[in-house]
Amino acid sequence: MKNFAIAYNKNIKHSSDVMSELKSALELHNVNTEVLDIDNLKDGFDFVFVIGGDGTILKAARFYAKSSTPIFGVNSGRLGFLSQCSSGDIKTPVEKILKGDYRVEERIMLQSEDRLALNDFVVKGSSTGRTSKFSLKINDKLVCDYLADGIIITTPTGSTAYGLSAGGPVISPLLNAFVIVPICPHTLTARPIVIPDNEKVTIAAGNPDFHYVASTDGQEFYEFKSEINIRKSDFTAKLALLDGVEFYSVLKDKLHWGTSPANL
User: Phi and psi for 198 in degrees, rounded to 5?
Assistant: -95, 10
What pLDDT does residue 85 have?
78
Which one, of 238, 249, 243, lies nearest residue 50 by Cα?
238
pTM to 2 decimal places: 0.90
Per-residue confidence in pLDDT tens, the chain, 264 aa: 689 999 999 888 788 888 999 999 999 898 889 999 999 999 999 999 999 889 999 999 999 999 999 999 998 766 667 887 776 778 888 999 999 999 999 999 999 999 999 999 999 987 666 788 999 999 999 999 999 999 999 999 999 999 999 999 999 999 999 999 999 998 888 899 999 999 999 999 877 777 889 999 999 999 887 899 999 999 999 999 988 777 777 777 767 676 665 665
CB atoms inside a 10 Å sphere around CB 60: 29
Q: Give the residue extent of every domain in the chain.
A: 4-100, 111-233
CATH superfamily of 4-100: Probable inorganic polyphosphate/atp-NAD kinase; domain 1 (3.40.50.10330)
Choice among 39, 43, 54, 253 that is catalytic: 54
What pLDDT does residue 37 have?
95
What pLDDT does residue 209 have?
73
What pLDDT does residue 11 have?
86
What pLDDT does residue 79 have?
62
What pLDDT does residue 76 have?
77
* Residues 58/119, Cβ–Cβ less than 8 Å: yes
Q: How far apart are CA 68 and CA 261, in angstroms?
A: 41
For the 111-233 domain, the top CATH level (class) is: mainly beta
* Residues 171/177, Cβ–Cβ less than 8 Å: yes
Q: Is 54 a catalytic residue?
A: yes
